[in-house]
Structure 1
């Protein structure tokens, strides 16, 4: 009985040591996989930030181009309107001077 107990205990101790080593290896493997996932997450996050930054810059450039185009159109329209008003004012000045000359 004692020999059988000692034999069983030795087998169980050996099995326990093997399980502990297996558990230690599994923990190390798990830690490496978690680290890999964290690293991949950081890389993907950085890539997303770069992509968002690029898209924002593109949107800003597009909006600037639209604003510049609208501003150029408005400027041309204002210049044409100013020329038309200048002609109208010149006509009114001539007409007024003619009326003054006739009244004198």
Structure 2
């Protein structure tokens, strides 16, 4: 993983993800800001891509800044809809309604 991505950082990211309430979403950048790494939203995405190896976390509640779900993960939209998250006509999460205010 290298020096940038260590176990402590992984669990720091995942602990923030764990706090996102049902029916809300957070952006990768929002999580990066919360851990004090404003410019590391891609790092957050990388960690979430391997989160299954660290336990069960609600990674489906993380979208990009515009509300777009992860490419290639069709179940994400369904999981969010099951929690009451609304989507706009363009297929993106309605961030004004559903973004987590930490």
TM-score under structure 2 length normalisation: 0.17
| Structure holding more helix per residue | 1
Which structure has the higher relative contact order (CA within 8 Å, separation 6+)? 2
Structure exhibiting the larger radius of gyration computed from Cα positions: 1
**Alignment TM-score, normalising by the size of structure 1:** 0.17
